[in-house]
């Protein structure tokens, strides 16, 4: 039997690291964990000694993870989640049809509004023991995939493709190709003459080449907070926009949607999870429902893609327009 060594971190030490990172200080972490501040400090010092690196920058205002600390905390979250999965699946092993436990999902706004509701409805009907927990994040910078890499979510619905590498230890698979279309106020005779309304999440590396080749698209003069605000501005006649299909689902009658032709841009929507959780029962159950729920008229994406891993900073930079 393998024995622990003095350099091994115990689960309670991992929980302390995560608590300090989440609360921003030793005192707050102590309160969250029901420990004394000295116990938290002692645990963090012990973890730093075992790892051989300073994990937190201490100050009068709290504690902030160092670069080494950020990596350690991300791994700690993922390890603790695997321990939860181990316990849940081992307990349910005697019941072959039992899929249960929490499932942390992160996604961007339009997918949360248009894709997830029927998926979660079917998931709950088939597996009432699963407890989905959904968070919506902006699909910029590290986006949904970054949340998964940091151990804050089990699976992320994200935009994939192009030259965007994923942080290490993640796997991704495409679900469908989402086409872009031109949208403008109903009845306008020359929509391409209108100013452009845009938002930060729109048009990443997957559409950049197409976008740059269109001399009729002006520089955005109106920057909105999200795709819902874009639709509202376009509906009011303040400009035109180029938007993906999920953002246009349920668009009001006050706007018209025009196909951009056979060379129109698309973005690839898929899921991202960790290599460890990809085989877990709760993640596999959600993936089955996601694959069965590709929106009508959208071309299925190539399956089972493992994107190259690179430094998270490089990946974040690739996500910028």
pLDDT over threshold 50, residue 307: no
pLDDT level of residue 5 (50, 70, 90 thresholds): low
Tell me the HSE value of 283 on the side-chain side, using a 13 A CA sphere: 24
In Å, what is the CA distance from 214 to each residue of 33, 44, 147, 208, 210?
55, 54, 34, 10, 7
pLDDT tens by residue, 197-210: 989 887 665 577 78
Residue corresponding to tokens 């694959």: 291
- Tens of pLDDT, residues 168-182: 789 999 999 889 999
Q: What is the mean pLDDT of the chain?
A: 86
pLDDT tens column, 36-48: 999 999 999 999 9
Identify the residue whose tokens are 């600390």: 69
For the entire predicted model, the pTM comes to: 0.83
Q: Read out DSSP for 86-136?
A: HHHHHHTTT-TT---EEEEEEE-HHHHHHTHHHHHHHHHHH-TTEEEEEEE
Rounded to whole angstroms, the Cα distance separating 86 from 306 reads: 24
Residue 68: the pLDDT is 96
**Token digits of residue 286:** 């959600």
- CB 202 within 8 Å of CB 183: no
The 3-state DSSP class for residue 25 equals coil
In the Cβ-directed half-sphere of 143, how many Cα atoms lie within 13 Å? 27
Q: Model confidence at 319, in pLDDT bands (50, 70, 90)?
A: very low
CB 150 within 8 A of CB 320: no
Interatomic CA distance for residues 63 and 266, integer angstroms: 43
> Would you state the pLDDT for residue 167?
74
pLDDT of res. 97 = 62
Of 219 and 74, more confident: 74
Window from 208-212, 288-292, 296-300 with minimum mean pLDDT: 296-300
DSSP 48-100: HHHHTS--EEEETTEEEE-HHHHHHHHHHHHHHHHHHHHHHHHHTTT-TT---
pLDDT bin (cut points 50, 70, 90) of residue 317 is very low
278-281-287-288 Cα dihedral, nearest 10 degrees: 140
Q: Tens of pLDDT along 108-149?
A: 999 999 999 999 999 999 999 999 999 999 988 888 999 999
Distance, CA of 109 to CA of 94 (rounded, Å):
38
Note whether 269 and 160 are within 8 A (CB): yes
pLDDT at 163: 54
Q: pLDDT by residue (tens digit) across 61-83?
A: 999 999 999 999 999 999 999 99
251 vs 1: which has the higher pLDDT = 251
Q: Which residue has the higher pLDDT, 8 or 295?
A: 8
Are the C-beta atoms of residues 72 and 99 closer than 8 Å to each other? no
Q: Among 44, 49, 41, which Cα is nearest to 7's?
A: 49
Residue pair 78/276 in contact by the 8 Å Cβ criterion: yes
Q: Please report, for the chain, how many H helices and E strands are present, in that order.
A: 12, 12
More confident site: 24 or 8 = 24
Contact 286, 131 (CB under 8 A): no
User: What is the model's pLDDT at position 321?
Assistant: 32
Coil, strand or helix at 292: coil
* Residue 202 pLDDT: 78
Average pLDDT over residues 254-282: 92
User: What is the SS3 assignment for 179-236?
Assistant: EEEEEEECCCCCHHHCCEEEECCCCCHHHHHHHHCCCCCCCCCEEECCHHHHHHHHHC
Confidence (pLDDT) at 316: 30
Contacts of 67 (CB under 8 A, 6+ apart): none
Q: Do residues 202 and 319 make contact, with C-beta atoms less than 8 angstroms apart?
A: no
Q: Is the dihedral of CA 219, 225, 231, 232 positive or negative?
A: negative
266-276 confidence digits (pLDDT tens): 888 999 999 99
């Amino acid at each position: 039997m393998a024995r622990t060594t003095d350099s091994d971190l115990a689960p309670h030490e991992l929980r302390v690291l995560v608590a300090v990172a989440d609360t921003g200080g030793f005192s707050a972490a102590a309160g969250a964990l029901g420990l004394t501040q000295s116990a938290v400090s002692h645990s963090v010092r012990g973890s730093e000694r075992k790892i051989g690196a300073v994990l937190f920058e201490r100050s009068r205002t709290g504690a902030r993870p160092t670069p080494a600390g950020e990596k350690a905390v991300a791994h700690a979250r993922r390890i603790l989640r695997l321990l939860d999965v181990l316990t849940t699946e081992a307990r349910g092993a005697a019941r072959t049809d039992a899929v249960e436990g929490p499932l942390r999902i992160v996604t961007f706004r339009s997918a949360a509004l248009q894709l997830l509701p029927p998926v979660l409805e079917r998931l709950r009907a088939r597996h009432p023991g699963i407890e989905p927990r959904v968070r919506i994040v902006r699909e910029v910078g590290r986006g949904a995939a970054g949340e998964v890499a940091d151990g804050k979510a089990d699976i992320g619905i994200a935009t994939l493709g192009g030259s965007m590498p994923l942080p290490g230890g993640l796997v991704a698979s495409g679900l469908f190709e989402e086409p872009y279309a031109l949208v403008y106020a109903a009845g306008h005779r020359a929509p391409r003459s209108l100013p452009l309304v845009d938002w930060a999440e729109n048009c990443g590396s997957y559409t950049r080449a197409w976008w740059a080749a269109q001399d009729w698209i002006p520089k955005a003069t109106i920057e909105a907070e999200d795709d819902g605000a874009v639709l509202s501005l376009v509906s009011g006649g303040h400009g035109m926009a180029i938007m993906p299909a999920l953002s246009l689902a349920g668009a009001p009658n006050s706007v018209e949607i025009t196909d951009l032709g056979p060379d129109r841009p698309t973005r690839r929507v898929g899921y991202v999870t960790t290599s460890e959780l990809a085989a877990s029962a709760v993640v596999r159950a959600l993936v089955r429902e996601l694959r069965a729920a590709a929106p009508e008229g959208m071309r299925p994406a190539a399956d089972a893609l493992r994107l190259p891993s690179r430094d998270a900073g490089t990946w974040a930079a690739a996500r910028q327009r």
